Structure 1
Amino acid sequence: MDSGIKEPFSIKKLIGTIILLIISILFLLPFVWMLSASFKVESDVFSYPIQWIPQRWNAIANYKEIWLGANPFYKYYANSIIVSVATTAISCVVSALAAYGFTKIDFKGRNGMFLLILATYMVPGQAILVPQFILYRNIGLFDSLLGLIIINCFSVLGTFMLRQFFMSLSTEYIESGKIDGASHARIFWQIALPLVRPSVATYAILRFIWTWNDYQNPLIFIRSDKWYTIQLAMQKFASLNGEFYSLIMAAAVSAILPLLIIFIIGQKNVIEGIALGGVKG
């Protein structure tokens, strides 16, 4: 006999679930249509009624044109991967170090310094584009992948997010490390950072997505075609193939595929990170 407690049936929960299911389907429909259109011949893209499953498949030709055509996507993919991975790695380390310092190291003016850093987040990025442009041009970082990496790897939001997670970490771990004679550097790398790994992974996923989708900075700081990221390549490809929507949809699917893979792989860490942030030590 089952002794478990069963939740009573609720009409309200059922209606809520149905509403969320309908909203989810509505959000997914454009992506399904985009994927379907990328497999079709051009004349079938806007056929009515909509052919969700293509009757005439042209996927190989469409994606071959995207990846191996006159403007092959693989070189732009390489640029975006380099910038996104490097930016994510550096930003996670820098933000985690800053968050640890603002929560676990007691120094004079700590709270005031954090508020000052946090206040810079209120300044819109567009307001400092001109000074950044002049600075990058003068120091030789203009029109380079290194410039894109540096401009994105210092994040006030990342420091704020990870600070909240480090605040949930019990100080007993830090004190035990000090008793054993460990320095703050050793405590950070061997004790604190592993304990908040899901939180750092959560920020890493978000940072990767933000960097991959960044259009403004590459548009301002990149001029050479060889350094184009995937977002600039999409704009260029759309302008050159504006009448071929099947190719544009194939390019769009190719552009979002890494984001889907990253999120599917890291969704467990995202959930763990959110749960960790809700527990105060």
Structure 2
Amino acid sequence: MDVNHPDAWNATCPSIAAVVATMNPAANRYAARVRPQEHRKEKILNFGTMCLDLINTYDRLNKTKPTKILIFRDGVSEGQFEMVLNEELLDIKRAICTEDYHPTITLVTAQKRHQTRLFLENERDGGASGNVPPGTVIDTTICHPFQFDFYLCSCYGTLGTSKPTHYCVLWDEHKFTSDQLQKLTYHLCFTFARCTKPVSLVPPVYYADLVAFRGREYQEVAVELQSHASAASSSSGSPSSSSTSAASFDERFYKLHPDLENEMFFI
């Protein structure tokens, strides 16, 4: 899941939240949901409802609901971890958990906005660019002394200095060992549909970012349509900012066509 925020100069348009989920056991087919959010707010509204919709879609396609759920959350800083745990995680638990269905959940954040860089102790151990090889993991010394986090450089660095991704495990009901989660995350980086090599960030986060960007395009169309409608109905010809803002939050503009909502149209 990811949230796309409007430009800094824009004070009215909503942020766009996107949630993607795998629809098959091989974890290479995804479905997406897009919703408007409060302006520049990182918290995802109705996150549980969006996840419940995706779980029901998975159930319809596979004739069973997933018993284990792994969530990758992008775009949050350390100061927002408490919000993710106490609000978004509780929201999904309230939405999907029933007496007959209670899946285990692991929640991991992925952070790229940091200044940590990894360098080879011996330059001869690297390739032509001198970067650390893909699959390099650091989970000691520079990591948190007692929290479950690690740095993973999963891509080939052909130009410049590779930037590792910082993964922090906020909630783990699966009791992953460090090796298990690190290998799973690294293997997922090979499944990105646009690339034949591993990418630097786990693909569900990449896909959520692409979907949220598409949602921003939908929002701009919604504002443009409402502006034209307001201009046509107004004698002065100047659209109302309140009506334009209301159109921006109208979820009908973000509702995907039934033939597309469960397809990877965003690739």
- TM-score class normalised by the smaller sequence: under 0.3
Give TM-score scaled by structure 1 length: 0.21
Which structure would you say has the larger Rg? 1
Query: Which structure carries more strand by proportion?
Result: 2
Query: Which structure carries more helix by proportion?
Result: 1
